[in-house]
Structure 1
Amino acid sequence: MPLYNFKTINVVPTGKDFVDIVLSKTQRQTPTVVHNGWAIQRIRSFYMRKVKFTQSSWHDKLTKILDDFPKVDDVHPFYADLLNVLYDRDHYKLALGQLNMARNLIDKVSQDYVRLLKYGDSLYRCKQLKRAAMGRMCTIMKRQSASLAYLEQVRQHMSRLPSIDPNTRTLLVCGYPNVGKSSFMNRVTRADVDVQPYAFTTKSLFVGHTDYKYLRWQVIDTPGILDRPLEERNTIEMQSITALAHLRAAVLYILDISEQCGYTIAQQAALFHSIKPLFANKPLLVVANKTDVASVDSLSPADQALVREMVVEAAKTSNGGMLVGGEEEAELLTMSTLSMDGVMKVKTTACDRLLSMRVEVKLQGKRINDVVNRIHVAVPQARDNASRPPCIPPSVAAARALKDAGAAPARKTEKDMQEENGGAGVYSADLRKLYHLKDEAWKYDIMPEIRDGHNVFDFVDPDIEAKLEALEREEDALAAAAALEAEGMDEDHLTPEEAETLRDIRARKAKIIAQHRVKKSTANNQAVLPRRADRERKSTSTNMQASLERMGIDATAAMARARSRSQSRAGRKRTRSEAPEAMDVDAAPVKRIHSSKSRSMSRGRSLSTAAPRDGAGLKDAAQRNKAVKMSDKAQRKAGKLARRGEGDRHIPDLKPKHLMSGKSGIGKRDWR
């Protein structure tokens, strides 16, 4: 996986858009209603919340931008120098530093104005302090428009950079322009780099991937390099120089021996020697390309000497400045990207050189000593001097001898029996013949369930089905006899007491059946009804008297009390229903009371005549009227406070100037 992914950096808005975004968020996510009649502490909190919310929005967004962009001092040196080449490190760090300073200034402005808002003495004073705080914050951010625009351009360019892992296995292709670097990359990887017959077709680094020895390899195509001083090289060439300087990779120096690239072999050799310090401590291979046009043998002796000198220098660079096996070790690799001749050999040679070098570097490092101390190879120790040669059991030796002699085996296997009886799908193996049971007759039982050494099926009575049928016939006969006896019952010979008992039993049975059917139809989902909704009229004074007398209690006093209460209630109802026969004209005028008092009195009078509720806990009508008045008073106070608060959604201005200014008119589509 790539070490750095610059495509995840969020878009950097412009200065004006930044102001609109933050102010719109403050308008949407903070209260918008404030009144002059509020307590001053509430007004201060209202405006302090606005200032703090705006400051936190600026702080979070600026922090996200600063965290997304890579720090030059924290990234790999390859990316640090690449940033310096592409964007100028000083400008890049200056832009990030200005945003960091703007964030600190906004925090300081918020802190100062919140301190002033704590001493605001009026709504107007607090509002003006809030406006001043937001205005200073917006001014600070508008001054950062140039830095924001620069960082947005850097972000767009960085998102187009290839994902290069500086620490993985890498093949780096370099050389003069138009020598076949991109063609080689297209042949060995799945990349599709543009190839044209003119110089500097490749203007940036391109990355492709290939597989070798079940490992993933990274192939980097670099732009062409010209032989000139470092200070005169342009940005395109400096990308190649940066990759050569910082990536620990196998370097392939492509040489165009046909000179179709526009540069002679002497010029290409001069470039090789000028950038030779960049090849230090890296596997280096000199590859002669375009052998389909010209071969190495067709070159002039001077050119062949230059090529041979480059190959020897490459071998010395790869081996730390010396040739271990002489000049014969230095090999010139040839290929043709057009006909694919020698391309795979170049790839495998470069990969093998890089793998061997990585292993040598690890062995020469300091960490190998720590690992060697923990490695232990276990060697078995001899316990005596007895000789123990390999021994084959006699049965195995005999079976092998019979097999070698071609004789039939002593015991047929299931596979042999399968082949003799029709093969797979026809022969069915007998899985029970190898059961180890106490009795061999148990192997093929219908129910071979063994418990304590016995088969359960052996204890089953063979006549149990016949006995079961006889028992069922006997039960059917008894049931039929009972039914006939019930149908033939004659009630004429019963005594009156027995007849009365029989009727009670039948009525009770019918009632139980009816109740069961009702409960079954409603699934016991009936509501519990109050006692006054007694449909069956069970709760009557007569039933109460009978129940008390059955228990041996005198019910005379209870009955008298119930009759007296019913009579008094009926008399009160009749008194209320009687209307006055006439009105005395000369009577004294009635004193009119206040309407609200009359309503409350009428309400209290009506409640006083109502029956007391269960669990009311009040002694009389006066207490109930007082409770009603107290409840109304509490509700009145709560109703007055039930108004729109500062947390409710409210937009005083449907078209605020900071959101609507500078927008397009009718017919345009230039939306923000």
Structure 2
Amino acid sequence: MALYNFKRIQVVPSANDFLDIVLSKTQRKTPTVIHPGYKISRIRQFYMRKVKFTQDNFEEKLNAILEDFPKMDSIHPFYSDLMNILYDKDHYKLALGQLNTARHLISAVGKDYARLLKFGDSLYRCKQLKRAAMGRMATIMKRQKDSLAYLEQVRQHLSRLPSIDPNTRTLIVCGYPNVGKSSFMNKVTRADVDVQPYAFTTKSLFVGHMDYKYLRWQVIDTPGILDHPLEDRNTIEMQSITALAHLRACVMFFIDLSEQCGYSIASQVSLYNSIRPLFATKPTMLVVSKIDTMRLENVDEETRQLIESLLKEPNVQMSQLSTFTDEGVMETRNQACERLLATRVESKLKGHKINDVLNRLHLAQPSKREGVERPPCIPQAALARKKYDPEDPKRRRLERDIEVEQGGPGVFSVDLKKNYMLKDDDWKYDTVPEIMEGKNVVDFVDPEIEERLEALEREEDRLVEQGYYELEEESDDSDDAQIRRTAKSIRERKAIISEKRRILKGTQTAILPQKVRNRMATSDDLKNHLSSLGLDETISTNTARSRSRAPKRARSPSRAESMAREASVAARAQSVIRDRSQVGLRSEVARQKTRKLKQLSERSRNLAARQGEADRAITSSKPKHLFVGKRGVGKADRR
């Protein structure tokens, strides 16, 4: 079936599109830079590569077209004749032949100019040879404009054709227009063929599929056929004639006795006799349609004899149906399928392949032993076994009978223990011991626990009736109240301590290892460094001493002293430390440099801060991969 899948044929480009595809691929896939200063061997190789690459591209595209389109002489005769009817075999072969000739001409041009390029003595001459080669190839392809356009139209029509397998099980529905062929196909398959009350609604072959006996069948609805000579039939009718002539199928010829189709019964019989030679060796069904309007029993004697005369041939049978009331539709379908199956099996038995099948089959026969014949037989028990009858009183009770007796589905529970194979059947429903920590739980259960529980419940009910639980609770004494207050304060204190510990845990700093602390600078190193910079080393000594000395517990200052101290600290901080990034810088130049570096480092973060999620970031206005190695707008003679 994959051999006749015409939908996989690739699109055939026009002549101009063909040239654009090939030449742009040559420009993209081959080097584009060459200079007069290069060696002449390198220049020759540069242009030879372009010529050979272009030739290969043309041949590859033309080969793909020639291989995709079916060959008239290598496909099934049904498709060969169908394509001849639809597209004209001579025109189709001529178009493919012209493309094949163009492929050979392009190959010859490429080889000739590649040979001439070997003798090029300058960049200019090599370039001119390359231009001449590509120009001749382009001219050859432009001459194929009509062939390419024709093949594209053929491809589009082929892709719309139904996928018909010529070798599978097939039913062909044929007859005059408007006799009920499409209605029958819509009933027996999942196809949706247009049905209208006028002739020639179906203008091409339609295929539907169905299942019968777990096999896939295809039903072909053919356009209507008129009774006139073969040479007068048009393209629509010739499609039906082609299907009838070439497909191994069961032919179902429809006849409308009511003559609502617009043609008399005599004309329909005449059409059957004229096309009968096309399917003389195939199983044929004479289908009388629209029996809801007119049946065969209701027609006159002359007409009945005319129709019955068609049944004289051995492989012709008749059936009646009505697609309006669905009467006889399935019976007709089944009868046609059975006839086709029998015909296919009979043809296979007559063929030469049956010997290969029989050679793989072996029937084993028991050998004679002890002088006793042992012919094949069926056991008496199997013969005496009756089919299950729910009304038979002697039948064996099944599980579903027990289910019905005990409440039906949803109520009945299957007894899984009745089939246990134990030494004693009385053990089937014993409680399975529950073992926990190596001991049986049942051994530790009080056997009188049920009675004791009932006694407790009675005692509880009696106390409730007497109002024992309704008495007011005695007030707590002073000792219990003091204990509760103490416990409450302890819980509050623990909560405060836990919260402080959680806060301190988040602010802890890492502890440096001993090796790192040994390598750190000492106070003497700091003094020497400050002295080399011209600063007073006593500042660091006093600062370190003030930090290392434990603070003394001072007396609590008065309110006035506290306010004065806070004001002095604030003034000193405002006057000295205005910007922490400027602390420790010796000159104004250093401070300006630091400020500039700070602004530069913050610029990218400030730009990112102003961007939103939907902002489009263009990192580079000229991406390198789009502009490197490309030709400019100047002259190209140097190439």
Amino acid at match of 2:300: S
For 2:215 and 2:163, how far apart are their aligned partners in 1?
18
- Corresponding residue number in structure 1 for 2:370: 384
SS of alignment partner, residue 185 of structure 1: helix
- Corresponding residue number in structure 1 for 2:341: 355
Amino acid at match of 1:199: A
- Corresponding residue number in structure 2 for 1:594: none
SS of alignment partner, residue 381 of structure 1: coil
Amino acid at match of 2:109: V
For 1:294 and 1:425, how far apart are their aligned partners in 2?
63
For 2:370 and 2:217, how far apart are their aligned partners in 1?
54
- Corresponding residue number in structure 2 for 1:159: 159
SS of alignment partner, residue 99 of structure 2: helix
Offset of residue 426 of structure 1: 10
- Corresponding residue number in structure 1 for 2:604: none
SS of alignment partner, residue 255 of structure 2: strand
Mapping for residues 358-369 of structure 1, pairs under 5 Å:
358-369=344-355
Offset of residue 654 of structure 1: 9.5
**Aligned equivalent of 2:629, options 645, 649, 653:** 649
**Aligned equivalent of 2:331, options 345, 360, 368:** 345
- Corresponding residue number in structure 2 for 1:178: 178
Unaligned runs of 5+ in 2: 382-393, 397-411, 425-432, 439-511, 521-623
Amino acid at match of 1:263: Y
- Corresponding residue number in structure 1 for 2:247: 247
Mapping for residues 125-164 of structure 1, pairs under 5 Å:
125-164=125-164
Offset of residue 649 of structure 1: 2.9
Mapping for residues 588-607 of structure 1, pairs under 5 Å:
none
Q: Judge conservation of contact 1:208–1:218 (CA < 8 Å) in 2.
A: yes
In 2 relative to 1, CA 379–518 (structure 1 residues): closer, same or farther, beyond 3 Å?
farther
Mapping for residues 243-282 of structure 1, pairs under 5 Å:
243-282=243-282
Q: Judge conservation of contact 1:193–1:206 (CA < 8 Å) in 2.
A: yes
SS of alignment partner, residue 296 of structure 2: coil
For 2:18 and 2:634, how far apart are their aligned partners in 1?
21
- Corresponding residue number in structure 2 for 1:55: 55
SS of alignment partner, residue 4 of structure 2: coil
In 2 relative to 1, CA 252–427 (structure 1 residues): closer, same or farther, beyond 3 Å?
closer
1:45-79 deviations in whole A, cap 9, x for unaligned? 11111111111111111111111111111111100
Q: Judge conservation of contact 1:31–1:649 (CA < 8 Å) in 2.
A: no
For 1:72 and 1:391, how far apart are their aligned partners in 2?
63
Mapping for residues 59-74 of structure 1, pairs under 5 Å:
59-74=59-74
In 2 relative to 1, CA 426–60 (structure 1 residues): closer, same or farther, beyond 3 Å?
closer
For 2:118 and 2:83, how far apart are their aligned partners in 1?
47
- Corresponding residue number in structure 1 for 2:428: none
Amino acid at match of 1:309: S
Offset of residue 372 of structure 1: 2.8
Residue 42 (str. 1) matches residue 22 (str. 2): no
Q: Judge conservation of contact 1:3–1:165 (CA < 8 Å) in 2.
A: no
Compute the TM-score of the two structures, normalised by the length of structure 1: 0.58
Mapping for residues 171-320 of structure 1, pairs under 5 Å:
171-313=171-313, 316=314, 318=315
Mapping for residues 76-87 of structure 1, pairs under 5 Å:
76-87=76-87
For 2:31 and 2:351, how far apart are their aligned partners in 1?
65
Offset of residue 281 of structure 1: 1.8
In 2 relative to 1, CA 360–655 (structure 1 residues): closer, same or farther, beyond 3 Å?
farther
In 2 relative to 1, CA 173–3 (structure 1 residues): closer, same or farther, beyond 3 Å?
farther
Offset of residue 429 of structure 1: 11
- Corresponding residue number in structure 2 for 1:336: 322
SS of alignment partner, residue 218 of structure 1: strand
Q: Judge conservation of contact 1:2–1:163 (CA < 8 Å) in 2.
A: no
For 1:121 and 1:655, how far apart are their aligned partners in 2?
22
Mapping for residues 439-450 of structure 1, pairs under 5 Å:
none
Offset of residue 367 of structure 1: 2.1
Mapping for residues 473-492 of structure 1, pairs under 5 Å:
none
- Corresponding residue number in structure 1 for 2:119: 119
For 1:282 and 1:126, how far apart are their aligned partners in 2?
69
For 1:52 and 1:190, how far apart are their aligned partners in 2?
53
Mapping for residues 93-108 of structure 1, pairs under 5 Å:
93-108=93-108
CA RMSD of aligned residues (A): 3.6
Amino acid at match of 1:345: E
Question: Moved runs in structure 1, 4+ residues, more than 3 A?
Answer: 385-392, 422-434, 443-448, 652-656
Amino acid at match of 1:48: M
For 1:655 and 1:306, how far apart are their aligned partners in 2?
88
For 1:288 and 1:276, how far apart are their aligned partners in 2?
17
Residue 88 (str. 1) matches residue 74 (str. 2): no
Q: Judge conservation of contact 1:172–1:221 (CA < 8 Å) in 2.
A: yes
For 2:154 and 2:304, how far apart are their aligned partners in 1?
46
Q: Judge conservation of contact 2:284–2:317 (CA < 8 Å) in 1.
A: no
Amino acid at match of 2:357: V
In 2 relative to 1, CA 423–204 (structure 1 residues): closer, same or farther, beyond 3 Å?
closer
For 1:168 and 1:341, how far apart are their aligned partners in 2?
28
For 2:336 and 2:11, how far apart are their aligned partners in 1?
41
Q: Judge conservation of contact 1:3–1:164 (CA < 8 Å) in 2.
A: no
Offset of residue 306 of structure 1: 1.3
SS of alignment partner, residue 136 of structure 1: helix
1:194-250 deviations in whole A, cap 9, x for unaligned? 011111110100000011111110000000111111111110000000000000000
Compute the TM-score of the two structures, normalised by the length of structure 2: 0.61
SS of alignment partner, residue 332 of structure 1: strand
For 1:15 and 1:371, how far apart are their aligned partners in 2?
54
In 2 relative to 1, CA 386–21 (structure 1 residues): closer, same or farther, beyond 3 Å?
closer
SS of alignment partner, residue 173 of structure 1: strand
SS of alignment partner, residue 287 of structure 2: strand
For 1:655 and 1:375, how far apart are their aligned partners in 2?
82
1:25-59 deviations in whole A, cap 9, x for unaligned? 11111111111111111111111111111111111
- Corresponding residue number in structure 1 for 2:386: none
In 2 relative to 1, CA 24–177 (structure 1 residues): closer, same or farther, beyond 3 Å?
same
Q: Judge conservation of contact 1:31–1:648 (CA < 8 Å) in 2.
A: no
For 2:156 and 2:372, how far apart are their aligned partners in 1?
79
Offset of residue 288 of structure 1: 0.5
1:507-558 deviations in whole A, cap 9, x for unaligned? xxxxxxxxxx969x99xxxxxxxxxxx979xxxxxxxxxxxxxxxxxxxxxx
For 2:635 and 2:252, how far apart are their aligned partners in 1?
64
1:359-418 deviations in whole A, cap 9, x for unaligned? 1111111222343344321111231147999999xxxxxxxxxxx9x9xxxxxxxxxxxx
Offset of residue 337 of structure 1: 1.2
Amino acid at match of 1:650: K
Unaligned runs of 5+ in 1: 319-329, 393-403, 407-421, 435-442, 449-516, 523-533, 537-643, 657-672
SS of alignment partner, residue 298 of structure 2: coil
For 1:35 and 1:368, how far apart are their aligned partners in 2?
74
- Corresponding residue number in structure 1 for 2:28: 28
In 2 relative to 1, CA 424–259 (structure 1 residues): closer, same or farther, beyond 3 Å?
closer
Amino acid at match of 2:632: P
SS of alignment partner, residue 369 of structure 2: coil
How many aligned positions are there? Answer: 420
Offset of residue 3 of structure 1: 4.6
Which segment is superposed worse, 367-376 or 256-265?
A: 367-376
1:318-353 deviations in whole A, cap 9, x for unaligned? 2xxxxxxxxxxx642111111111111110000000
For 2:633 and 2:7, how far apart are their aligned partners in 1?
40
Identity of aligned residues (%): 62
Q: Judge conservation of contact 2:224–2:237 (CA < 8 Å) in 1.
A: yes
Amino acid at match of 1:308: E
Q: Judge conservation of contact 2:15–2:145 (CA < 8 Å) in 1.
A: yes
For 1:650 and 1:193, how far apart are their aligned partners in 2?
57
Q: Judge conservation of contact 1:2–1:165 (CA < 8 Å) in 2.
A: no
In 2 relative to 1, CA 198–655 (structure 1 residues): closer, same or farther, beyond 3 Å?
farther
1:455-514 deviations in whole A, cap 9, x for unaligned? xxxxxxxxxxxxxxxxxxxxxxxxxxxxxxxxxxxxxxxxxxxxxxxxxxxxxxxxxxxx
Amino acid at match of 1:652: G
